[in-house]
Amino acid sequence: MRVCGCSNGASAAALEALLDFGRVRHLHEGGREVVYFDKKAKARLGRANPVAAREAEKLTRTYAIMGSNGVVITVGHRYRRVMQN
């Protein structure tokens, strides 16, 4: 079950697209994960739903932090790149 109060301007549909198609990176603190759009994630979304992809283009810098139980902890906007391992 996914629960979220979208108070940062991200619509519920855009958040669903992020959670369904976004790239997941595991954080080594408490089993949390960060979900964000990268080029491949945007391409997957574009193939599946071009209309949602246009909306998601506005939210390219949006990320979500998910707990180990799958619940969205917070949603925000990135100002820096997500560092790759």
pLDDT digits (tens, 9 = 90+) for 8-64: 556 777 788 888 999 999 987 788 999 988 888 888 888 888 887 777 677 778 888
Q: Which residue has the tokens 């979900």?
A: 35
Model pTM?
0.73
Total number of domains in the chain? 1
Q: Cα–Cα distance between 48 and 23 in angstroms, integer?
A: 15
Helix ranges restricted to H, the chain: 12-21, 39-48, 50-57
1 within domain boundaries: no
pLDDT of residue 10: 66
Does residue 3 form part of some domain? Answer: no
pLDDT of residue 1: 43
The answer as to whether 83 is a domain residue is no
Q: Which domain holds residue 62?
A: 12-77
Query: Which of 4, 80, 21 has the alpha carbon at shortest distance from 56?
Result: 21
